[in-house]
Structure formats: C-alpha cells, structure tokens
Amino acid sequence: MREGAVMDDAALAKVLRFLLAVGEARLAEDAVLAADGRRQPLAPAVLAEALRLGLVGRKGERLFAAAEARAYLKRRLCTAETPFALQHRDMAEVTVLRDGVRERALANRLESPLASLTRLKEKTGEAFLPDTALAAGERLHADFTRGGLQPRLTMSWEPRIAGRQKGEAGAARELTDTALAARLRVARAIAAIGPELSGVALDVCCFMKGLETVERERQWPARSAKLMLRAALMALARHYAPPAPAGRRAHAWGAEGYRPDLPG
C-alpha cells in the first residue's frame, strides 16, 4: 500500500472516531469543529473520500458519521498490520450483541473512553474531572466491555442491565464466570449511581458518546451534560472506594463529680 494511502486511511479513521464521539461537527477550513470547541483536522481529499465511501453524511456545513462508519472502523481494526499500530494496542476478541445477534469483534483494551474529557478545565485552570472520577469511569467501561455488553448502542439498555435481552435466551450459560462477574459489577455500579445520573455515565463511559450528543438525545440544556457526568462519576468513585467510617468515640456516664480510675 502506498504511504499516502496509509496516511489518508489513518486520517479518515481519526475523523470518523471524532464524529462518532461528538455526534455532529461544523465544517471549517481544513478541519471540523465540535460544539464544545474541539477541533479535528480534515483535508479536502479525506473529506471527499469519506463522502464517496458513504462513511460521512453532510447537511449544509455540518458533518456527521454515517451508519457505515462503525463497521468501517471495525474492519480496519481487524486488518491493521503495521507494527507501530500493533505495539500500541492490547487487543482482545470479545463477543458482543448487535441488534440481537451475537458477533465476535476485536476490542482495544488500551483505548480510553474518557481521554478527551481530561482537557475539560475549571475557570481556575484545574481539571474539571478529578482523577478519581476519571478512574471510576474507566473502571466502569472496563467491566462493561468484559461483560460483553458493548456495543448495545441504545439508551433502552439502561433499565435492563441485569436482565436478559432479545436474542439472549439461554445466553447466560455461554458466558464465562469473568463476564458474569463483570456484568454484576456493572449492575451494582449503576445502582449506586442512581437512576437520575446513571444514564449519562453509561452514554459517555460505555457507549462512548460525546457530551453534545448526550445533550441532544436527552434534550438537555447546553453544557449541562458535563455537570451531570461529574456528579455521576463522583458517586461512582465513592461506590468503588467508599470513605472510611469515622472512628467511634467511647463514652462513659457517671454521677456528678465522677472521675474514672486511671491506671498508674
């Protein structure tokens, strides 16, 4: 394969992952811009190829990932042969459910669903999400993947975490103890977060949706998703590492003038 073709393919994959994460982006000069300010370079040749292959849709000056984009990235991941790419991946074969059908897929265990969120800052310049919150989100994602729950890309999954899904009759017998344990940990984590906040945690950490996509799908006000996500991840962090209980003090009661006997 020509070097230019490899570079174009890599650039195309980056754009597709970007659009899948943010949901929709505005076309600018040699780039696409997300609503939260994130920017992804996009050469005219790469855009033309993406449109030709039907991987990207266009509405005026706005671009979005087409339905074929995920399948394209999956095929590319399965056929990647470059040593550089392989040494920066920790690949594992997993069983996933897609529209009720069980499929085999490759997953990169080094991929971070919250990597882009590390750039969010407070007005003071401090990180918007504490390290403990990010670590909790990563842990939820890891259990979600180990449990074979990805990629059920639908919000209707939320109340059915521990239940059997369409096409899964008797599927529990096929799961390993590791996968079953991971599913149980996910169910407990979601219960600990609570119904008001668990949805955004699932969307971002497990389904890898961008904050703008979450706001649009849930009809939330702009910039509210990150606040809800922080609250969800802080609750999740407390679930994974509950604070130590306060030490219990001993009390003694006696009549007026009472003095306890002290040794010595």
Is the pLDDT at 158 greater than 50? The verdict is no
Cβ neighbors of 3 (< 8 A, separation 6 or more) are: none
**Residue 123: inside a domain, yes or no?**
yes
| pLDDT over 80 at 183, yes or no | yes
| Same domain assignment for residues 94 and 150 | yes
pLDDT digits (tens, 9 = 90+) for 13-35: 889 989 988 888 999 888 998 88
Domain identity same for 67 and 108: no
The answer to whether residues 121 and 226 belong to one domain is yes
Q: Share the mean pLDDT of the chain.
A: 75
Joined tokens for residue 244: 């130590």
264 pLDDT exceeds 70? no
Q: Which residues are paired to 222 by β-bridges? A: none
Does residue 104 have a pLDDT over 70?
Answer: no
**pLDDT over 70, % of the chain:** 66
Where does the pLDDT of residue 1 fall: very low under 50, low under 70, confident under 90, or very high at 90 and above? very low
pLDDT in tens, 63-76: 998 888 888 887 77
Q: What domain count does the chain have?
A: 2
Question: Can you give the pLDDT at residue 197?
Answer: 95
Which pLDDT belongs to residue 250?
Answer: 60
| Domain match, 144 and 193 both | yes
238 pLDDT higher than 90? yes
Residues 157 and 110 both lie in one domain: yes
148 and 190 housed in the same domain: yes
Q: With a cut of 50, say whether residue 172 has pLDDT above it.
A: no
Judge if 53 and 114 occupy the same domain.
no
* Whether residues 97 and 136 fall in one domain: yes
More confident residue, 94 or 207: 207
> In this model, does residue 56 exceed pLDDT 70?
yes
Q: What is the mean pLDDT of residues 43-70?
A: 88
| 196 found inside a domain | yes
The set of residues, in sequence order, having a beta carbon less than 8 Å from that of 25 and lying 6+ positions away, is: 18, 19, 32, 33, 34, 35, 40, 62, 63, 64
CATH of the domain at 38: 1.10.10
Does pLDDT of 109 surpass 80?
A: no
Statement to judge: residues 56 and 113 lie in one domain: no
205 shares its domain with 99: yes
- The reply to whether 143 falls in a domain is yes
Q: How far is CA 176 from CA 40, 116, 179, 222, in A?
A: 40, 32, 5, 41
Domain housing 45: 3-72
Among 4-13, 75-84, 180-189, 242-251, top mean pLDDT goes to 180-189
Q: Residue 183 belongs to what H/E stretch?
A: helix 177-193
One domain, residues 138 and 189 = yes
**Pair (61, 103) in one structural domain:** no
Task: Pick the last residue of a domain from 22, 38, 72.
Answer: 72
Most confident segment among 98-107, 110-119, 139-148 = 139-148
- Is residue 163 predicted with pLDDT exceeding 60? no
